[in-house]
Amino acid sequence: MNQSHIKTNATSTSSYSTSERESCSVDGEFQAFSGSSTSGFSDCNTSENTRSKEDSVDDDCLSEKNGDLILALTGARLWNKFLETGTEMIISRKGRRMFPYVEFYLRGVDPIGMYDVVFDIIPASNSCFRFIKHKWIPFGIKGHEFTNRPFKHPDSPSMGCDWMTRKISFQKIRLTNKPDSKAGTFSLHSYQMYVVQISIVKYDRENTVSTTQFPLHSTSFIAVTAYNNREVVGLKINSNPYSKAFRNQVKR
């Protein structure tokens, strides 16, 4: 993913060992990894240098700290359920919305400073994956990545005091397997692992910028065109407010 327009002063990276999978009959997100007792993925690195990860905090949030900034991802329990199962996200030609949604609170920014909040999806592994015997297994080296432009929140730039007084949502982000997608839609390859990264870009008086990045490890997922793990399908149906029709069918 091309991030050349952003100058970074604090960066965290991660490496994952993952697995590919075969396809089912629905669209889906990603699935359980072998060799991990806490998530559907294996060998997830959590933090480096000034960045530290805290446990779940108030209002079902998971707090990530980088320097003075704190990003609190909402829906922590739901994200963790998916992570333990192995999150799968559907990609399609028209673009499919992510679920769970990426929404968070921001703390520690300068109240009178000007900031952009930028959403990106970056590779989380150098491997492709295959779903075998209910597990995602790394299977070979992945190919080239599509070039995606990070998506700037529509309210950017805004003052720090504005960002800190509300929940920041990227609910309308879409995922596709078609190249050259429009703004807010990310082109991904099936059977590859990705993670959401949020960048907080501050504009200084000298017209320079500094960037703090938050790779959100709880959002790690495998891109698929059809769900492989039935447990993921069940979680999606039971927790997505737009899946009411599917829940009613199950009850019958």
Percent pLDDT > 90 in the chain is 63
Question: What CA–CA distance (Å, rounded) separates 52 from 108?
Answer: 14
Contact 127, 140 (CB under 8 A): yes
Helix (H, G, I), strand (E, B) or coil at 41: coil
For residue 251, give the H/E element and its range: helix 244-251
Contact 95, 176 (CB under 8 A): yes
Reply yes or no on whether the pLDDT at 120 is more than 70.
yes
Tokens (6 digits) for 135 = 């597990």
Q: List pLDDT tens digits, range 29-53.
A: 333 333 333 455 544 333 333 344 4
**For the chain, what is the mean pLDDT?**
80
Contact 136, 39 (CB under 8 A): no
Closest CA to 159 of 193, 229, 109: 109
Q: List pLDDT tens digits, range 146-174.
A: 999 999 999 999 999 999 999 999 999 99
Reply yes or no on whether the pLDDT at 126 is more than 60.
yes
Strand partners, 60: none
Instruction: Say what angle helices 230-239 and 244-251 make with each other, to 10 degrees.
Output: 110
Closest CA to 196 of 65, 38, 95, 79: 79
Domain ranges of the chain: 29-251
248 vs 96, more confident: 96
Question: What CA–CA distance (Å, rounded) separates 128 from 142?
Answer: 5
Lowest mean pLDDT among 11-15, 142-146, 156-160, 200-204: 11-15
User: Which residue carries 């769970």 as its tokens?
Assistant: 100
Reply yes or no on whether the pLDDT at 179 is more than 50.
yes
Q: List pLDDT tens digits, range 47-88.
A: 333 344 444 445 799 999 999 999 999 999 999 999 999 999
CATH of domain 29-251: 2.60.40.820
Pairing of strands 69-74, 61-66: antiparallel
| Phi-psi category of residue 28: left, alpha or beta, with phi > 0 → left and psi -120 to 50 → alpha | beta
Strand partners, 31: none
Pairing of strands 185-187, 103-107: unpaired
Contact 131, 34 (CB under 8 A): no
Burial per residue of 81-105, b for 16 or more beta-carbon CB atoms within 10 angstroms, e otherwise: bbbbbbbbbbbeeebbebbbebebb
Task: State the DSSP code for 146.
Answer: P
| Phi-psi category of residue 199: left, alpha or beta, with phi > 0 → left and psi -120 to 50 → alpha | beta
